[in-house]
Amino acid sequence: MKSWLVAFVLAISFFTGPAVAQQAGDDLAWVQIEAHPSLRVAQDRARLYAGTLDDVNGFALDGNWYAIVLGPYTRPDAERVLQVYRAGRQIPQDSFLAYSRNFGQQYWPVGADVLNTGAVTSPLAQPAEDQAAAPEATPAETPTNDTTTVAVADTPATQPVIQEPDETPAEARASERLLTVEERMGIQVALQAAGFYDSGIDGAFGAGTRNSMGNWQFANGFDATGVLTRGQRKLLMDQYNAPLISVGMAPYTDAKAGIRMDLPLKEVAFSRYEPPFAHFDATGDLGARVLLISQPGDQATLFGLYDIMQTLEIVPLNGPRERGSNSFTLAGQNAQIVSYTQAELQGGQIKGFTLIWPIGDEARRTRVLAAMRASFARTDGVLDPAAGADTEQNIDLVSGLEVRRPRLSRTGFYVDPKGSIVTTAEAVQNCTRITIDHDHQAQVVATDDALGVSVLRPTDPLAPISVARFSEGAPRLQSDITVSGYSYEGVLGAPTLTFGTLADIKGLSGEPDVQRLALNALPGDAGGPVIDLSGGVVGMLLPPPGGNRQLPENVSLAADSAALRGVLQRAGLAPEDSTGRGTIPPDEMNRLASGMTVLVSCWD
């Protein structure tokens, strides 16, 4: 069955004339310009039309076809759009009016849902009295479409004509014989991308390739001969390259960075050098970004770059990482972006690139990334590391790129030689990832919600410098205590000691497992050990109570050592007892506290 007949049957099955539309109460109309059996082809074609026309939308049809339409308009506006655009050859001559009831799920633009939003203002809107004078379209072939659709409007549907080939079968075979192996492989790749070919890419046009060519011809309104003409090969490759055309992929050479490659120049433009990066910032609504990587160095420099890149916001945590002796790749994805980085060390120079692309546009991103990787080439030149000396300095930036920050950081401390940690439950709630001192991952193994305490176990065993030893007896009231904590949530890189006294061995409401401290703590200190003068741990600092209640600055609360022992024992740990009896020197206190205290960070 010819493709026009398939489309005709679909149209008769799923579209009705104006009289039925009025009976159904339809007051909106659309201009259907194409329909494809391949979703990928339909998406590419919709993207191309959206570059030149307003109000482009795409909807699924019954029978696994995908329509490209303009609208929604009022019926008079839709008729005028159909007439004017057909006359100007901006849309196919067999475009027609369609109605919302014929459409299923919207596939273009991604995430849109405009079926029930009401009519939009037509770009060709004119007074009603002028509409009668609008010229009738003269049938002509549009150069932008080779796909057959069916006209269904105010007049009975007319039977479309199959597209006339530009070459006879004999001429097509003769021109096909002139193709190089690379060109033949390119045709197979394009057929594969369009969903018509699933065999090997070898450049040999056997029965499988011929069959896929015929299927593609059938779907695009041509006689299914199995031999593509020059024009059909061009259309196939235009369809395949539509994602690249839409973003303006073109060769680009950066002499300073010593890199030549294809870039999506409709979406990004050079912004600045901040070694080791050449920044290409977004210029369009898509929000894509590109970095060229260029710096002198050795393997240690490469490995350092690998570590630094993973601390940046543009490299999400969720994704594969691979590092070899002279190269690395990083891929990451979150709710907003997909990121890919590659870099390689050759001849004392590290060069590569990063592509940052918005989520939800995977088909186009994949094509753009493949083109960038295939075209990447080194040229003479490398960025001077000293050239960025006059750029903005900020500890939250690396060469102009924002460093990934945890959502929350608090304090914890080691409670056994294997690196188990106790901290405040607040620090580890709803975390995608928990780290210890930013370098080691950990998991929650136990939580006491009533007390507000959690126990963590590192993913890989650690060897703490010192481990908390818990005092056995209740401390004396008004005795001196010290809290070790990351008061500024890791900014200083080491814990801070805050001094105070034990004000009460009960909580504000008489809780027996809570202590009240006369101590001015900061939020980052929560989870830190409360240490007596002998070096024994007598408690763990708790965060301030929530709600509308705010304590005075010099009032803090802590879970006492007996309650902590119970939490640890229920988690299968055996806390050590303090053997200290006398006062230890300040230097010893600092060494002991710093050795057991860790920064606990919660990451989204």
Q: What is the pLDDT of residue 398?
A: 54
User: Does 371 have pLDDT greater than 70?
Assistant: yes
Whether residue 597 is contained in a domain is answered as: yes
* 525 Rama sector, left if φ>0, alpha if ψ -120 to 50, beta otherwise: alpha
Mean pLDDT across the chain, nearest whole number?
82
Single out the residue in 199, 221, 246 at which a domain terminates: 246
Q: What is the pLDDT of residue 339?
A: 95
Bridge partner list, 411? 599
Whether residue 315 is contained in a domain is answered as: yes
Q: What is the pLDDT of residue 185?
A: 93
Single out the residue in 374, 402, 430 at which a domain terminates: 402
Instruction: Give the CA count within 13 Å in the CB-facing half-sphere of 252.
Output: 22
pLDDT digits 0-9 by tens, 294-334: 999 999 989 988 988 888 888 888 889 999 999 999 999 98
User: Does 275 have pLDDT greater than 70?
Assistant: yes
Cα gap 162→499, rounded to integer Å: 88
Q: What is the CATH number of the domain that holds 344?
A: 3.40.1000.10
Cα gap 39→403, rounded to integer Å: 39
284 versus 229: which is more confidently predicted? 229
Single out the residue in 246, 278, 313 at which a domain terminates: 246
Q: What is the pLDDT of residue 496?
A: 87
Cα gap 452→450, rounded to integer Å: 6
Q: Comparing 159-163, 483-487, 584-588, which segment has the lowest mean pLDDT?
A: 159-163
Region 185-191 average pLDDT? 92
Q: What is the CATH number of the domain that holds 511?
A: 2.40.10.120
Question: Please, what's the largest Cα pairwise distance for the chain?
Answer: 104
Q: How confident is the model at residue 75 (pLDDT cuts 50, 70, 90)?
A: confident
Share of residues in the chain with pLDDT > 90 (%): 38
Looking at the fold, whether 343 and 412 belong to one and the same domain comes out as no
Looking at the fold, whether 312 and 324 belong to one and the same domain comes out as yes
Label residue 181 exposed, middle or buried (CB < 10 Å: 0-12, 13-18, 19+): exposed
Could you tell me the CA-to-CA distances from 438 to 251, 423, 456, 526, 600 in Å, in that order?
40, 15, 15, 17, 8
Looking at the fold, whether 477 and 517 belong to one and the same domain comes out as yes
Looking at the fold, whether 119 and 180 belong to one and the same domain comes out as no
Q: What is the pLDDT of residue 125?
A: 58
pLDDT digits 0-9 by tens, 378-389: 999 999 887 654
Q: What is the pLDDT of residue 395?
A: 40
Looking at the fold, whether 315 and 354 belong to one and the same domain comes out as yes
Looking at the fold, whether 433 and 375 belong to one and the same domain comes out as no
Count of CB atoms within 10 A of residue 493's CB? 10
Say if strands 337-346 and 65-74 run parallel, antiparallel, or are unpaired: unpaired
**Cα 379 from chain centre:** 31
Overall size of the chain counted in residues: 604
Q: How confident is the model at residue 143 (pLDDT cuts 50, 70, 90)?
A: very low
Q: Tokens 């065993």 belong to which residue?
A: 461
Let me know: does 196 contact 216? Beta carbons within 8 Å.
Answer: yes
Cα gap 8→220, rounded to integer Å: 14
Share of residues in the chain with pLDDT > 70 (%): 84
Range with top average pLDDT, 30-39, 124-133, 143-152, 292-301 = 292-301
Region 50-59 average pLDDT? 88
Region 115-132 average pLDDT? 65
Looking at the fold, whether 374 and 415 belong to one and the same domain comes out as no
Domain assignment of residue 555, given as a range: 408-603
Whether residue 591 is contained in a domain is answered as: yes
Looking at the fold, whether 280 and 222 belong to one and the same domain comes out as no
Whether residue 138 is contained in a domain is answered as: no
Region 150-178 average pLDDT? 62
Contacts of 214 (CB under 8 A, 6+ apart): 224, 225, 226
**Cα 119 from chain centre:** 33
Region 338-356 average pLDDT? 95
Looking at the fold, whether 25 and 126 belong to one and the same domain comes out as yes
Looking at the fold, whether 431 and 359 belong to one and the same domain comes out as no
Cα gap 488→496, rounded to integer Å: 9
Looking at the fold, whether 89 and 70 belong to one and the same domain comes out as yes
User: Does 22 have pLDDT greater than 70?
Assistant: no
Looking at the fold, whether 487 and 519 belong to one and the same domain comes out as yes
Q: Domain count of the chain?
A: 4
**Cα 438 from chain centre:** 23
User: Does 151 have pLDDT greater than 80?
Assistant: no
Range with top average pLDDT, 150-159, 519-528, 580-589 = 519-528
Whether residue 141 is contained in a domain is answered as: no
Label residue 199 exposed, middle or buried (CB < 10 Å: 0-12, 13-18, 19+): middle
Q: What is the pLDDT of residue 79?
A: 86
User: Does 432 have pLDDT greater than 50?
Assistant: yes
Whether residue 143 is contained in a domain is answered as: no
Q: What is the pLDDT of residue 599?
A: 92
Region 185-195 average pLDDT? 89
Region 532-560 average pLDDT? 85
Cα gap 320→329, rounded to integer Å: 8
Q: How confident is the model at residue 93 (pLDDT cuts 50, 70, 90)?
A: confident
User: Does 515 have pLDDT greater than 80?
Assistant: yes
Whether residue 157 is contained in a domain is answered as: no
Region 129-143 average pLDDT? 37
Instruction: Report residue 532 as tokens.
Output: 């007596």
Instruction: Report residue 328 as tokens.
Output: 């690395």
Whether residue 449 is contained in a domain is answered as: yes
Q: How confident is the model at residue 415 (pLDDT cuts 50, 70, 90)?
A: very high
Cα gap 540→515, rounded to integer Å: 9
pLDDT digits 0-9 by tens, 209-249: 999 999 998 888 888 899 999 999 998 988 888 888 888 89
Region 407-421 average pLDDT? 91
